[in-house]
Structure 1
Amino acid sequence: MTELLIADDHPLFREALRGVVASLFPSAAIYEADRIANLYPLVDDHPDADLLLLDLDIPGAIGFSALVHLRATYPSLPIVLVTAHEEARFVRRAMDHGAMGFIPKSIDSQTLGAALQTVLEGGVWLPETDTTAPGISLDESAVAARLRELTPQQFRVLQMLSTGQLNKQIAYELDVSEATIKAHMTAILRKLGASNRTQAVLMASRLGLNQDEPQGTSTS
């Protein structure tokens, strides 16, 4: 049985994806997440899924960081980005970070179906775009390599930190103690080679869609 995971916060778009998948694969099992916090447990429960359709703008994500982390944790899981960001530079960065496809949300259902069919058959699907767009920088590549060293929990802590949450807020959401979060932060700083929380967030922002505007941080 074909298993597909959909990570998108727009109910109407998830419904459209379900319709296309159902027409192609009537017996497919489809599982959904509407935010990053729900996506990671979903992938944990379905590590052998045939495909993950990931929206770049899903709440809780920082640009390409979720793609980088999931590719490192589940290297056999094909991931296709489904996004409203259609610029050639985003397509190139997505492929450099290991995506198996890049599907603009503006395409019609017939093209969407063809794209899904291609990826599920082991191919790569890309929109017609400028093939001369620059790839990721050496700096972005180095940051991605360091992010791959984080454990899933450490990565979640870093993402929550990047959205400005305090230690106590992160601890509450993850149902752990503040001492545990501080221990995670120590490990995160060591693995990233960062000297403090702000520097760690600045590094993570290198994988953001707008690399020049990192998220806000807190020091407590």
Structure 2
Amino acid sequence: MYTLLFVDDHPLYREGVRRALSDATPDLRILLADGHASALQVLSADQDIDLCLSDFQLPDGDGLALLGQVARRHPTVARGLLCGAPDPAMARQAQVLGCVACLSKDRDIASLGEALRSLFEGGSVYDVAPAAELSVVSLSDKRKEILRLAAKGLSNKEISALVGISERTVKDHWSYIFEQMGVSNRTEAVSQALRERLL
């Protein structure tokens, strides 16, 4: 039996998907969450989740930010988007985060069930082709400057002196950069920024 965590803030749609998938796929266990915080709580409480599918628009943070956190905290859980209007930019961001799916809510239950079977078997399903070249995130000039200086090997203390902010504020900027880019340290952030031509 596989376990799916479905994250969506619309209770009628969320429950409708659960009931329909349960009827169509009796060997599938489905857990529900209504946002970023509740999804992380469910993941922390249940170690048997195989796949986390999230809507993009959530009340407490977008779905990609959530999936980035899931990647860091629960690396064995496969991740994907199930949203109303996926586009190539969104699909590209999901791909860079290592997601296995970017699905459209236009799918009927039979089609969604087929996609899930493919995902549980180790495949990937993208309803929209990812954009070929796209910056992963839109970072402020100050955060890009922090990344540029880190790429030159400067420490947080040296960056704070050059940028004119406290070392604590530099660390706060790093926390935001890590979350938005779906990475866990400075080296990964700099490498990804260079790959994605953010700098």
Please report the TM-score for the alignment, with normalisation by the length of structure 2: 0.66
1:4 maps to amino acid? L
Unaligned runs of 5+ in 1: 147-185, 194-199, 208-220
Shift of 1:191: 6.3
Spell out structure 1 runs of 4+ moving beyond 6 A. none
Shift of 1:124: 0.4
2:21 maps to amino acid? V
1:136 aligns with 2:117: no
Aligned equivalents of 2:66, 2:34: Cα separation in 1? 14
Aligned equivalents of 1:59, 1:139: Cα separation in 2? 20
Aligned equivalents of 1:65, 1:188: Cα separation in 2? 21
Which residue does 1:106 correspond to in 2?
106
Which residue does 1:74 correspond to in 2?
74
Shift of 1:30: 1.8
Q: How many residues align?
A: 157
Shift of 1:139: 7.2
Aligned equivalents of 1:64, 1:73: Cα separation in 2? 14
Deviations 1:125-173 (A, max 9, x none): 111x345542434876x99xx9xxxxxxxxxxxxxxxxxxxxxxxxxxx
Aligned equivalents of 1:65, 1:101: Cα separation in 2? 15
Aligned equivalents of 2:21, 2:40: Cα separation in 1? 22
Note closer, same or farther for the CA distance 1:189–1:103 as it changes in structure 2 (3 Å cut). Answer: same
RMSD across aligned positions (CA): 3.1
Contact 2:69 2:179 in 1 (8 A): no
Which residue does 1:48 correspond to in 2?
48
Aligned equivalents of 2:86, 2:14: Cα separation in 1? 19
2:66 maps to amino acid? A
Unaligned runs of 5+ in 2: 148-166, 182-199
Q: How does 1:142-153 map to 2 (within 5 A)?
A: none
Which residue does 2:17 correspond to in 1?
17
Which residue does 1:92 correspond to in 2?
92
Contact 1:96 1:136 in 2 (8 A): no
Aligned equivalents of 1:25, 1:192: Cα separation in 2? 44
